[in-house]
Structure 1
Amino acid sequence: MAKELAKVYDPQSVEDRLYAFWLEKNYFHADVDPKKTPYTIVIPPPNITGQLHMGHALDETLQDILIRWRRMQGYSALWLPGTDHASIATEAKIVSAMKEEGLTKEDLGREKFLERAWAWKEKYGGRIVEQLKKLGSSCDWERERFTLDEGCNKAVNEVFCRLYEKGLIYRGNRMVNWCPHCNTSISDAEVEYQTQDGHFWHLLYPVKETGEMLELATTRPETMLGDTAVAINGADPRYAHLHGCHVILPLLNKEIPIVCDDHADMEKGTGVVKITPAHDPNDYEVGKRHDLPIVRVFTYDGHMTGAADKAAADELFASGRAAAGEPEVLDCGKYAGMTTMEARKAILEDLEAGGFLKSVEPLQHEVGTCYRCHNTVEPMVSKQWFVRMEPLAAPAIEAVRSGQTKFVPERFDKTYYHWMENIKDWCISRQLWWGHRIPAYYCADCGEMVVSREEVHTCPKCGGVMTQDEDTLDTWFSSALWPFSTLGWPDKTPELDYFYPTNTLVTGYDIIFFWVARMIFSGCEQMGQTPFDTVLIHGLVRDAQGRKMSKSLGNGIDPLQIIDQYGADTLRFALATGNSPGNDMRFSDDKVKASRNFANKIWNASRFILMNLSDEITSCRLPEKLETEDKWVVSLYNTLVKEVTDNLEKFELGIAVQKLYDFIWDILCDWYIELTKSRLQAGGETALAAQQVLVYVTANTLKLLHPFMPFITEEIWKNLPHEGEGESIMVSQWPTYSEELTFAKEEADFQKVMDIIKAIRNQRAEMNIPPSKKAKVCIETAEPKVFEDGAPFIMRLASASHVEVGGPFSPEGAVQVITSAARAFIPMSDLIDREKELARLEKERAKCQSDIDFVLKKLDNPGFVAKAPAQVVEAEKARLQTQKDRLEKILESIKALG
């Protein structure tokens, strides 16, 4: 007995049930299977603080499409999931919650704080994983990892120690990007530059030796307290007389040297620049070249330094434990304790009062901000841990140049090369408690430092007590190891041996610096081979107007709401439609509704097929004898298999899904089902054959569609006959192209019949002739047999009362329809009542002529033409031409009626 689908497709009643079924059957799990070829994708681990947004939805949808496709092709397809501990973001959330209780990190202490952090992770950390499941993500959840789990922590410590032992990790005082809000250092890649309104304050510094005033400009006057020199260009003739001289630093009345350095650009401003080595990257380099003192005037939480800060620094120097490059600290006196912005205001007032502020110039400039909290970053000399990047970058660059790893689209390798070839040493230490703690230990008695894989409690040098470094590692340090740490490294596991290197990394172009590059150089260094062969880059999901989605614009779209309203398949199909590698895409309600309509179209067509199936149809096989229309659809389906597979191989997912849409909607639903209705009604062998073809094409096309729309395809496929193919579409065999199913001649011949049907339909629609009005069709063609065989379809689908093939036929009193293979003549008398149509056309002609006369009268009036706005006159001229064109067509129609 034939199965029936519900009258209306209801995603809410289907999706959770099917996902639970897939989990129960363990279909997502990938085994180490020597008989199969592995295919591996590691998920870009979302932050445990994360909420599913459109970027995630796109990223996960693309990955799921690829993994479902490869799984159906017979690969041991592993999609390895996991989440990232997100040091800064997670710690910020926990600190914010503690603040409401009146607590700080220091109140709790490290151990108690971490207890809270892990409790928070247990409560909220799995939220985004559950949201990914709602999307239909077929990850191997048995292998889910977390960047702070025991295995990943072991891998992080191993890599840190290896790099340190090779001299590729070091600790020292260097210029870093400091976020006063997050109270930690961040790497260059984590600084986002924003255009902000600001000022150039033009200051005057007195020259000690000559008494003249040197003019210079700054955007950050509060840093002047840390100035240790003024620079001029040695080739600048304006200042040749000042070589070897000094200036008196205003407000502090402190003597600092004038140095000659190419950093001072003779073409910019006055050619004089203040040098603050502790708080500007360029000044820091000038300071190194001229052995200038480094004087810090900011605290790490964004205030001006005071007496206590200076005393602590002085004590460090006095103990002899100050490392090379350790900055001095200034007691900023009356400005101590002020925020940097408060100090700016006070310093400018004092400069103006002392006659040292010459002028103020407004400007717009690029300001570095923290990519997490978006507050302004302060460049700061600080003791941090760094990775020496140049030796690591070289093999990673070669891995892409040699083709071991390729970017799709290829143009993004230029972005990769630019960053890698100009890479700076990576600051990896963070002043946070939530994260991988740096495996370095210090002796309080003798200052000995030990880097170790195991905890060290006793100093190997003096026997004193050792304490571990307070800092944690940059989150990206652990995620850089993700492709191999998640597979068991540093242990040699069967999974690591089988699934590494992975195959495809799917990610956005905005993460090439943060993550992609770091994974490549980490894989090359630790594993001796690149971690993936392909990096598929996708763009951003923008709103319907092309704007970036943001809270400030209020234009964000919640993917979970779309899933709740329309289903996951609708969201996935909308995200895949129009998608092309590397390019941003627009998302709109119209796109969602079009996807929903497509799902309904598939459901209704499948429901019709099931309602017309005989109990004899139990499997998905073609009949021995195929009619011409069967060969036409089967041949088109066969081509679809080849093209969709090829598109997926090339990562052209948007093209593949458009071809599926066109075939399902136009070919299968709108045409082939209509073509088979008379056969289905006729019964007997012809009906059974039509049913077999319908089941074969539909079921296999659903397989092609499954990676894009997994739920609806599974629900329909489970109800279609599929004996011998398993109990789930997701583990059925991916269709393959077959030369035996290519019927080029029949396909071409039947397409000619289809073309004449479409042309006749279009002509009748233009003439407003209802389908119920039958008319004789006479066809002239050089291929009479094609149209004689196609006559039954022309009669039924083109509303023909009779089809005559031969000719020549007289065009008199007939409507002509022309295609590339034939010319059809339809007697006008069959289509319309001649006298009534002539009367109607005459009425139309009179009205049209009246409109023409009215406009001509206006345009012949000199007063109207002279006084009316030019655009109004042009609009009237355009209206006149439109009416003339319309009148010409009406007259042609009257003439045709005789």
Structure 2
Amino acid sequence: DFRYFYPTSVMETGYDILFFWVARMIMMGLEDTGKIPFRTVYLHGLIRDEKGEKMSKMRGNVLSPTDAIEKYGTDALRFALTTGTAPGNDINLGQHRLEAGRNFANKLWNAARFVCQSLDADSTGGEALREVAVLARLRGVDLWRALAMLVAARAEPIEDRWILSRLNRLVADVNELMSNFQFGEAERQIHDFFWSEFCDWYIEIAKIRQPQPNYSPLPVLSHVLETTLRLLHPFMPFITEELWQNLRRRLPQGNLCPDSIMIASYPVANTSAFDAEAERVMESVIEIIRSIRNARAEHKVAAAKWIEAHIYTDKLQLAIASKSAIIEALARARPVAVLSRDQRQSGVEKAVVQVLKEAEVVLPWAGMVDLSAERQRLEKEISFAREQVARLERRLRDGTFTSKAPAIVVAKERDKFQEWKDKLHRLEQELAQLS
């Protein structure tokens, strides 16, 4: 046993005992065996309270791990302690980090439940997975490699190519970060991909596609979920094992051979799945949807109201036009017209214009708001803003106030004056745009 385990490769410890423990282990190892006990030392930071103070029973700021596990769960605590951290940096651990860990665990559970329930209910998706399994046996590759080959062979749906490209770039980045001991950054990237790109976008697009008979999204949903669970397993072992087993039972028999995710191989990037074109198109589609949502929120458009949208672009016109149904559903916009830039007539439409990276989005005012009511609202706000500007201007011109009031009070009034002037200017611009 001694010859097998000594010397080892990595020593993990806190930076506060570097001399008291690590240095003495090296000296003792050299003295007793002539060999240093390890080549790499990974130093983690200290766990502090929310204010950055060292935890102490005297201060009463100790957070009990048992209580945290009871309230939030073991994986949530592990997530809170490891995500977004850097070697040697202290962690400020508080309720907000633990709640974030619990929320992410809930997100994992809900996404996996959606995929598993869809597999149970959708015979088309099950048939699509069986076809992929047959292709895998014929080509002598695993299930997910066969799926990547199938998706790459067809031009549409481009969102399948996009999510597989993003997944494989994530796998490549995570493996690189793990090899460099950047565990916190690796976990952050997995979290951001799963929450934003997979759950917020691909799953929502899949819900729109599911009723359609062709090109079921379930094989890709299953692939991304299963691979992400394996990526996350070192950080959140309990929930990933449970969800992986639930998914495994629903996939074609014999395609996930290991009995446990613990002994499944860690994901390796399939560089042939990288697809810059698909990423460019879907990034543009997502940016368009976000811009319409932001405009709706800014102008207080009712959630149930459909608004008209004109999208002007050049190189991506056909690709974006093919995703107009997705834009309609996720941005609550109908009709959506995707046109070339030379078809746009500037100054003709009274509209909100959003200038994006690959396109311009034009939202006609008439479809967004009642112009008469909006004009009245703006005139009322302008009237109130003018009163505030006049009041603050009179006060700042009053020599008695500026000479006798504390400097900090005068400075605050000047700041308020500038804020109201700026708001008045923007309101007048909005009214001019309506007129």
1:822-861 alignment runs, 5 A limit: 822-861=359-398
The amino acid across from 1:848 in the alignment is A
* Paired AA for residue 691 in structure 1: L
2:260 pairs with one of 725, 728, 734 = 728
Counterpart secondary structure, 2:39: strand
The within-5 A match list for 1:662-811 is 662-682=192-212, 684-687=213-216, 690-721=217-248, 722=251, 723-783=255-315, 784-804=317-337, 805-806=339-340, 807-811=343-347
Deviation at 1:578, TM superposition (A): 2.5
Rounded Cα–Cα distance in structure 2 between residues aligned with 1:499 and 1:736: 28
In structure 1, the partner of 2:165 is: 635
> Aligned-pair distance for 1:585?
1.6
Q: Among 73, 76, 80, which residue is 1:567 paired with?
A: 73
Q: Report the residue type matching 1:611 in the other structure.
A: Q
| Offset at residue 790 of structure 1 (A) | 2.6
1:496 to partner: Cα distance? 3.1
Q: 1:506 to 1:586 in 2, by over 3 A?
A: same
More helix by share: 2
Match of 1:730, as an amino acid? M
- Contact 1:570–1:595 (Cα < 8 Å) also in 2: yes
CA distance, structure 2, for counterparts of residue 666 and residue 736 of structure 1: 22
C-alpha displacement at 1:660, in angstroms?
0.9
Q: 8 Å contact 1:541–1:548 — kept in the other structure?
A: yes
What is the Cα deviation at residue 568 of structure 1?
0.8
Higher relative contact order (CA closer than 8 Å, sequence separation 6+): 1
- Contact preservation (8 Å) 1:776, 1:800: yes
* Secondary structure, counterpart of 2:353 in structure 1: strand
CA RMSD in angstroms comes to 1.7
TM-score (norm 2): 0.88
CA deviation digits over 1:809-855, x for unaligned, max 9? 33440110111111111111110111111111111111111111221
Q: Any idea what SS the aligned residue of 1:651 has?
A: coil
Aligned partner (choices 14, 29, 34) of residue 508 of structure 1: 14
Q: Contact 1:537/1:582 (CA < 8 Å) preserved in 2? A: yes
Instruction: Identify unmatched segments of 5+ residues in structure 2.
Output: 134-142
Greater C-alpha Rg:
1
* 2:136 aligned partner: none
Offset at residue 686 of structure 1 (A): 2.2
SS at match of 1:776: strand
How big is each residue's C-alpha offset from its partner over 1:299-352, in whole Å with a ceiling of 9 and x where there is no partner?
Answer: xxxxxxxxxxxxxxxxxxxxxxxxxxxxxxxxxxxxxxxxxxxxxxxxxxxxxx
Letter in 2 for 1:538: H
Confirm whether residue 603 of structure 1 aligns to residue 109 of structure 2: yes
Q: In the alignment, residue 209 of structure 2 is paired with which amino acid?
A: R
Q: What corresponds to 2:403 in structure 1?
A: 866
Contact 1:699–1:720 (CA under 8 A) maintained in structure 2: yes
The letter for the 1-side match of 2:205 is L
Report how far residue 526 of structure 1 moved. Answer: 3.1
- For residues 606 and 758 of structure 1, what CA distance do their matches in structure 2 show? 25
The 5 A counterparts of 1:27-66 are: none
Cα separation, 2, equivalents of 1:584 and 1:833: 54
Q: 2:50 aligns with which of 544, 547, 557?
A: 544
In the superposition, the TM-score normalised over structure 1's length comes to 0.44
The one-letter amino acid of 2:187's match is V
CA distance in 2 between counterparts of 1:849 and 1:611 reads 58
Letter of the 1:686 counterpart: Y
Aligned: 1:612 with 2:118: yes
SS in 2 for 1:510: helix
Alpha-carbon distance in structure 1 between the residues aligned to 2:171 and 2:94: 30
Distance (whole Å) between structure 1 residues aligned to residue 195 and residue 335 of structure 2: 29
Residue 577 of structure 1, CA deviation: 1.8
CA contact (8 A) 1:753 1:786 kept: no
1:12-31 superposed matches below 5 A: none
Separation in structure 1 between the aligned mates of residue 113 and residue 329 of structure 2, nearest angstrom: 23
Q: Secondary structure at the match of 2:9?
A: strand
Distance 1:596 1:809 in 2: 51
Matched residue, 2:92: 586
Compute the displacement of 1:500 (Å).
2.9
Question: Structure 1 residue 499: deviation in Å?
Answer: 3.4
Contact in 2 for aligned 1:778/1:809 (Cα 8 Å): no
Q: Check whether the contact 2:352–2:364 (CA below 8 A) recurs between aligned residues.
A: yes
Q: Distance in 1 between matches of 2:284 and 2:374?
A: 32
Q: Note the 1:365-404 alignment, pairs <5 A.
A: none
Establish whether residue 814 from structure 1 lines up as the match of residue 344 from structure 2.
no
Give the Å deviation of 1:525.
3.3
Give the deviation of 1:646 after TM superposition.
Answer: 0.8
Aligned-partner Cα distance in 2 for 1:680–1:786:
20
Report how far residue 563 of structure 1 moved. Answer: 0.8
Structure 2 CA distance, aligned partners of 1:695 and 1:751?
22
Hey, what's the Cα distance between the residues in 2 that align with 1:578 and 1:829? Answer: 46
Native 8 Å contact 1:777 1:802 kept in 2: yes
Superposition deviation, residue 772 in structure 1: 2.2
| Cross-structure match for 1:396 | none
Give the drift of 1:602: 1.1
CA displacement at 1:738 relative to structure 2: 1.1
CA contact (8 A) 1:508 1:537 kept: yes
1:649-686: CA deviation from partner (whole Å, max 9, x where unpaired): 1111110111011001101111110011111122x232
Q: Cα distance 1:517–1:880, how it changes in 2: closer, same or farther (>3 A)?
A: same
Residue pair 2:12, 2:43 contacting (<8 A) in 1 also = yes
Deviations, residues 792-814 of structure 1 (Å, cap 9, x unaligned): 22212122212222222334401
> Counterparts in 2 of 1:254-273, with a 5 A limit?
none
CA offset digits 1:545-582 (Å, max 9, x no partner): 11111122111111111011111101100000221111
Match of 2:268, SS state, is coil
Checking the alignment, whether the CA contact within 8 Å between 1:759 and 1:818 is kept in structure 2 is no
CA distance in 2, matches of 1:770, 1:725: 50
Instruction: Quote the Cα distance in structure 2 between the aligned partners of 1:865 and 1:572.
Output: 56
Q: In structure 1, what is the Cα distance between the partners aligned to 2:182 and 2:264?
A: 23
Q: Is the 8 A contact 1:750 1:786 kept in 2?
A: no
CA distance in 2 between counterparts of 1:678 and 1:510 reads 54
Q: Which segment drifts farther, 744-753 or 620-629? A: 620-629
Residue matched to 2:186: 656
* Distance in 1 (alpha carbons) for counterparts of 2:260 and 2:304: 44
Q: Which secondary structure state, in structure 2, belongs to the residue aligned with residue 572 of structure 1? A: helix
In the aligned structure 2, how far is the partner of 1:809 from the partner of 1:656? 47
Contact 2:208 2:326 in 1 (8 A): no
Q: How far apart are the structure 2 equivalents of 1:791 and 1:644? A: 33
Secondary structure, counterpart of 2:88 in structure 1: coil
Give structure 1 regions of 4+ aligned residues with deviation exceeding 6 angstroms: none
Equivalent pairs: percent with the same residue?
40
- Larger relative strand fraction: 1
Secondary structure of the structure 2 residue equivalent to 1:532: coil
Hey, what's the Cα distance between the residues in 2 that align with 1:849 and 1:498?
Answer: 81
Higher mean C-alpha displacement, 623-632 vs 666-675: 623-632
